[in-house]
Chain A
């Protein structure tokens, strides 16, 4: 029995679920949930690379999948919990700048936009990875939108990591044989992002007393109220 079509279909399924997790990141209401959705999204990214490893016969992608699992489902949640513990466990409603239905509509429009943007690029990776490029691009754009509407520091960190997930989902299909050294360095880089932004969040918590980064609006062009003009 040929396994090719089955593997391809499973990959399409993983990509579809990936898009749903991107939407979920826009709407979930607690920091803890954001983190879990991100972990789920990373698992889907890893499964897509395993499936494409079989389909495209690129053994390197197995290593990429293992790296993704290790870094994004184990190390990053651990790092974020280490650096911003009280934030992650705070069970409270997250404020949003835009209402949930409106956000979902915008995300949907972005996903359609991503499809229209990537269609003219041709179907060079025939068959197996055809869903990866449009859905990865959609993940990138929806992630950027999430970043714009989230007010809190930790969800913004997760939005940036989700944007990178989107780029990597497209990457496993369009650049499956990218040298492993680059993949390794990229995983390291993602880890440093989580560490640096986690530490910065902690510094904000300590020195400013809030992680509601939308309230940070001191720096602008108008003269400060105390200045003689």
Chain B
């Protein structure tokens, strides 16, 4: 029963924020809704991890297994932190105009969170497509929230390219349904698709998968349809960036990772090489583009493209250790990227600029912001003792053990390039002589949000608790054939 209630919490919060958009009520109910969703998600994950069985409250429609539980947990955790950060960070004028902006922000924030939670909870593939489409439509106005020329441009590119991708993916989903009908008598769920796969026509299966890969790849930020991503992920308010970059891309990638084993289960169809190719090209392109960024939020946005590429490549390489590493990477990327964007938000709060060249000596200006930015960058670049190091190491180790030396070597190269780019840009921002002006104080709620995501980023780098290991193992097994 609990999985059904998880997305309803932000939905209720959206309704309250719409009716009473007060300076206190709107953020308060948003945080309460997010915390309730987080509690429900943790309970569900705990139950799935300890029993090892999926929870299915509505047969063939709503359910949670290892991979779904992992994504629900990540969305709820990042969503909660983003709700607190919004409360501390969002600055609106008094009066009617401010009320309108508060209403617009918090209603869309909660609806966006609702759609993100729905993606991993829904089992029916056609309904998942609609949930993914809703994540775009409900976040457009958050991307364009500032109302500036740049933010509206970013919102337009975001909505046009991702909806175009979604239309292509729709044809793919409909072809999957056709293939399923040809096999006869299975439900249109991830599980049904996988069980029916051996009896599906392989040509239809591969065409369908490629359409979904291209279509949803555009939304997950895979090259060459990634161009909207650095724009949207840099123009939105920072807590929204954390949601977009941390978990929205993950939720879309989740759909692709659900369909990959369906193709793998068929005898005549292969899709790994496509997934591996898309992944490597994305990781490589993004790593080199990171060198020439001038805006620190764009730097982190390109890093998202790189990480999506790494996870896709890992899913394409295959093998138990690599799958485990890919799942670990999903979790570590989502949390670390949220940390990076919260740190970027804190830096923006202190300096009021997004240009890297104009930020110097952040550590002296505001130790919290400086430390968060440095730690977040080191963590996302993959240095120990943070979570991304463990997951990337597992992927590379597994790939070498599988004998896939070329992809492993390329991935290692891209990771090193990205590391250098991140450090070259961030070090001068953090150290050096501080400017004379700036706001040194970070709102307490923003610091709370930073701590909320920083703790698991460090903890998962040092050890993997039993429950977390259990859910990772279950999730990795559903990536296997």
Q: Are B201 and A167 in contact (CB under 8 A)?
A: no
CB pair A160–B357 under 8 Å, yes or no, is: no
Stretch in contact with the other chain, from A39-47, A75-83, A114-122: A114-122
5 shortest interchain CB distances as A-B pairs: A174-B178, A163-B167, A182-B126, A216-B153, A175-B177
Q: Which residues of A contact B358 (CB under 8 A)?
A: 227-228
Given A167-B171, A189-B134, residue A200 in contact with residue B357 (CB < 8 A): no
CA distance A167 to B157 in the complex (A): 22
Q: Say yes or no: is B144 at the interface (Cβ < 8 Å to chain A).
A: yes
CB <8 Å contact, A178 and B126: yes
Chain A contacts for B141, CB-based, 8 A? 196, 199-200
Q: Provide the residues of chain B in CB contact with A170, threshold 8 Å.
A: 171, 174-175
Interchain CB contact under 8 A, B152 and A207: yes
Sampled A-B contacts (27; CB under 8 Å): A120-B203, A121-B204, A122-B201, A124-B178, A136-B171, A140-B168, A156-B160, A163-B168, A164-B167, A167-B167, A174-B174, A178-B174, A179-B124, A189-B133, A189-B134, A196-B159, A199-B141, A207-B149, A216-B153, A218-B149, A218-B153, A219-B157, A219-B230, A219-B234, A221-B289, A221-B293, A224-B294
Whether, in the assembled complex, B90 has its beta carbon less than 8 Å from a beta carbon of chain A, the answer is: no
With A144-B168, A163-B164, A221-B293 as contacts: A208 and B149 at CB distance below 8 Å: yes
Inter-chain CA distance A56–B223, complex, in Å, is 41
Q: Does B452 contact A (CB under 8 A)?
A: no
A143 within 8 A of B: yes
A120 to B154, CA, bound (A): 39
Q: Is B332 an interface residue (CB 8 A)?
A: no
Q: Does B130 contact A (CB under 8 A)?
A: yes
Q: Establish whether residues B148 and A207, one from each chain, have CB atoms under 8 Å apart when the complex forms.
A: yes
Cβ of B181 within 8 Å of any chain A Cβ, yes or no, is: yes
Flag if A182 contacts B204 (CB, 8 Å).
no
A137 pairs with B171, CB closer than 8 A: yes
**How many residues in B have their beta carbons less than 8 Å from beta carbons of A?**
51
Q: How far is the CB of A100 from chain B (nearest CB, A)?
A: 22
Nearest CB in chain B: distance from A6 CB, A: 25
A174-B178, A219-B235 known; A204-B156 Cβ under 8 A: yes
- Judged by a CB distance under 8 angstroms, whether B57 is at the interface is no
Q: Are B140 and A200 in contact (CB under 8 A)?
A: yes
Closest A-chain residue to B353, C-beta based? A227
- A174-B175 in contact (CB<8A): yes
Question: What 16 additional pairs, Cβ within 8 angstroms, besides A136-B171, A163-B167, A203-B144?
Answer: A124-B178, A160-B163, A166-B167, A178-B126, A182-B124, A185-B130, A197-B163, A200-B159, A203-B152, A207-B147, A219-B150, A221-B294, A221-B298, A224-B355, A227-B294, A229-B357
* A177 vs B156: C-alpha distance when bound (angstroms): 35
- Please give the distance in Å from B102's CB to the nearest CB on chain A: 18
CA distance A8 to B94 in the complex (A): 64
Q: Are A147 and B164 in touch, CB under 8 angstroms?
A: yes
- Contact in complex: B178, A208 (CB < 8 Å): no
CA distance A79 to B404 in the complex (A): 54
The answer on a CB contact under 8 Å between B140 and A228 is no
Q: Are B177 and A203 in contact (CB-based, < 8 A)?
A: no
Interface size class of A (residues with CB under 8 A): 35 or more
Contacts of B231 in A (CB 8 A): 219
Within B158-193, the residues touching A (CB, 8 Å) are 159-160, 163-164, 167-168, 170-171, 174-175, 177-178, 181-182, 188
Q: Is A192 part of the binding interface, using a Cβ–Cβ cutoff of 8 Å?
A: yes
A213 in contact (CB, < 8 A): yes
Nearest Cβ distance between residue B439 and chain A, in whole angstroms?
21
Is B207 in contact with chain A by the CB < 8 A criterion? yes
Which residues of A lie under 8 Å from residue B156 when comparing CB positions? 153, 200, 204, 213, 216
User: Is A186 in contact with chain B by the CB < 8 A criterion?
Assistant: yes
B292–A221 CB distance below 8 A: yes
Nearest chain-B residue to A217 (Cβ)? B153
Interface string of A97-131 (1 = CB under 8 A from B): 00000000000000000000110111011000000
**Given known A117-B207, A167-B171, contact A160–B177 (CB-CB < 8 A):** no
| CB contact under 8 A between A167 and B174, given known A160-B163, A216-B153 | yes
List the B residue with the shortest CB-CB distance to A153.
B156
Any chain A CB within 8 A of the CB of B155? yes
A70 within 8 A of B: no
What separation, in Å, do the CA atoms of A227 and B357 have in the docked complex?
8
Complex: how many Å from CA A147 to CA B225? 14
For A163, A181, A200, A219, the residue with the greatest tally of chain B CB atoms inside 10 Å of its CB is: A219
Q: Which of A168, A178, A204, A219 contacts B177 (CB 8 A)?
A: A178
For window 124-164 of chain A, which residues contact chain B by CB distance below 8 Å? 124-125, 136-137, 140, 143-144, 147, 153, 156, 160, 163-164
Return the CB mask of B228-248 against A: 1 if under 8 Å, else 0.
001100110000000000000
